Amino acid sequence: MVGDSVGVQGLAPALAGGASLQGTIQPTTGIPSLEIATRTAMPDNQTIDRCRGTLLGLAIGDALGAAVEFQRPGTFPPVLGYRDGGPHGLAAGEWTDDTSMALALGDSLVNRGWDLADQARRYVAWWREGAYSITGNCFDIGLTVVGALERFSADGDPLLSGDPSERASGNGSIMRLAPVPIRYSGLLGADPAQIACRAEESSLPTHASPQCLSACRYFALVLSGLIEGVSREEVLSQEWEVFEREQAREPLHPAILAVALGSFREKGPPEIRGSGYVVESLEAALWAFSQAADAREAILAAVNLGHDADTTGAVCGQLAGACWGESGLPAEWRDQLCGRDQIDRVLEPLIAARGT
Ligand SMILES: [Mg+2]
């Protein structure tokens, strides 16, 4: 039995005792023996392909959606490939905050192991200095994240910087999640709760609402299953053993549970909305992914929902890349994606870290 000593709930005693993380760079979780606990066998080539696909799919979906962000579905010519323009005036193939924050998170996992304060510091470096940006500047940070990073900058506590209220349930922590399953999916068989707990904790510095935390737990398990070669049908089934065990250990928020139980199969647009609300965003990405014939079809269905198109694309892109792998992502989207070196500088050591 895993769980009582890990995860968000396991952090409460330390906080209640007045422990402060300020000025420390120790792992912020209660998870002991991190080095041993997370070591898994080096992945085979197919698993590597799916790991690479998870982050590249995120960036590709982000870049495809960036040109139509904030537009209502049906009001723009359907997206079929990269376009320039959009609210941030990007070049075709450039990506936004979704990918920048994922690179920050991945870079932290590579360089610091599990260190929530370091993750938050790298988000601040993106916000303040343009680190991890494709343009060298932070051009698209949302109010929820600014507020959280301002609180973190003031008191250095990543456990308390994210707004825990339900109204602050944006999709900003599922959009960047890929590095967590890429690094830890090998634990799926032995210790899936640890994947879920880390995903949940990764949300805390910026998105601490119950919906956001549950969404990260569920999304990380689905992505991990796909990376480990579990079929799409199985990971999306309410009878998937991993899902059933995690639900028994710590039930999901009811709104996220409804998605996990298949709400996305019973709806279509306009009920399916690519909004910034984490529940709708996850549901929309699963709607697009679950019925697509391939990665191209999945990601295009997601971004053509408009509204928060880059993030719906990024969430769906993670699913599509984890399922069909880098090799299953359209070649022209891989080749024309901007900042490939920047992504590979994080992605390659992140995958290598699975075996350490
Ligand atoms: Mg974005």
- 226 CA → ligand 1 middle, Å: 24
pLDDT of 27 strictly over 50: no
Superfamily of domain 49-76+87-355: ADP-ribosylation/Crystallin J1 (1.10.4080.10)
Sign (positive or negative) of CA dihedral 8, 13, 16, 22 = negative
pLDDT digits (tens, 9 = 90+) for 268-278: 999 999 999 99
- 271 CA → ligand 1 middle, Å: 22
- 7 CA → ligand 1 middle, Å: 28
Q: Which residues pair with 170 in a beta bridge?
A: 277
Greater confidence, 281 or 40? 281
Contact 253, 211 (CB under 8 A): yes
Residue 209: strand, helix, or coil = coil
State the pTM of this model.
0.89
- 309 CA → ligand 1 middle, Å: 8
Can you give the residue ranges of every domain in the chain? 49-76+87-355
> Which is nearest to 211 in space by CA: 278, 113, 146?
278
- 98 CA → ligand 1 middle, Å: 5
- 64 CA → ligand 1 middle, Å: 11
> Which is nearest to 200 in space by CA: 114, 275, 258, 141?
114
> Distance between CA 208 and CA 336 in Å, rounded?
35
pLDDT digits (tens, 9 = 90+) for 58-113: 999 999 999 999 999 999 999 999 999 999 999 999 999 999 999 999 999 999 99
> Distance between CA 204 and CA 195 in Å, rounded?
15
> Distance between CA 62 and CA 299 in Å, rounded?
10
Q: Which residues are found with C-beta within 5 Å of the ion, ligand 1?
A: 96-98, 310
> Distance between CA 286 and CA 301 in Å, rounded?
10
- 155 CA → ligand 1 middle, Å: 27
- 84 CA → ligand 1 middle, Å: 15
- 78 CA → ligand 1 middle, Å: 19
pLDDT of 22 strictly over 90: no
- 18 CA → ligand 1 middle, Å: 36
Q: Which residues pair with 255 in a beta bridge?
A: none
- 256 CA → ligand 1 middle, Å: 22
